[in-house]
Amino acid sequence: MTDPQTVQDDVVVSLEYTVRLNDGSIVDSSVGREPLQFLQGHGQVIEGLEQEIHGMRVGETKKFVVTAARAYGERIPEAMEWVPRAAFPAGMDLEPGMGFRLQTASGESIVAYVREVLPDRVLMDFNHPLAGEDLHFEVTITGLRAATSEELAHGHVH
Ligand code: ZN
């Protein structure tokens, strides 16, 4: 199979990226690490990113903004809950930003983040840490290749 020339669905994309918030602070970057690799069109990355890189070629760089609604959604202020400190292991050093995978009553797996720590209770935030944030991307496509049939069947890169 010949390698695809542009970013399109069912193609394995490698890209370097830096993500900044509205205030210019960097929240995530592949600089100094391996490029991000994913199967385009399978929801492995946020939809806004897939839409913006569609049609790009290897070596091409692009800057764009993915608004909160197309990234991790708006913040839901009610999606926070105080939990007794005793619900966590006694020796555990709880710090804001720490994530915990929890099981809901219906068996769903969700991640909650520590927002505030008081001596007797901990405020857990069920919003994604980037909810409500517009994401300013700078991406460079570093590689494109056809996905294997196995990768397409699984919906992810091997
Ligand atoms: Zn697999």
pLDDT in tens, 71-85: 999 999 999 999 999
Distance 154 CA to ligand 1 centre (A): 5
What residues does 99 pair with on adjacent strands? 113
Q: Which domain CATH number covers 55?
A: 3.10.50.40
- Residue 31, domain extent: 11-72+132-154
pLDDT of residue 60: 98
Domain count, the chain: 2
Is 66 in the same domain as 82? no
Write the burial class of residue 92 (CB in 10 Å: 0-12 exposed, 13-18 middle, 19+ buried).
Answer: exposed
Is 25 in the same domain as 67? yes
Q: Could you say which residues of the chain have pLDDT below 50?
A: none
CA–CA separation, 121 and 110 (whole Å): 20
pLDDT of residue 110: 85
CA–CA separation, 14 and 39 (whole Å): 9
Give pTM, 2 decimals: 0.78
Is 65 in the same domain as 17? yes
Written as six digits, the tokens of 146 are 């056809």
Distance 138 CA to ligand 1 centre (A): 28
Distance 151 CA to ligand 1 centre (A): 6
CA–CA separation, 16 and 139 (whole Å): 6
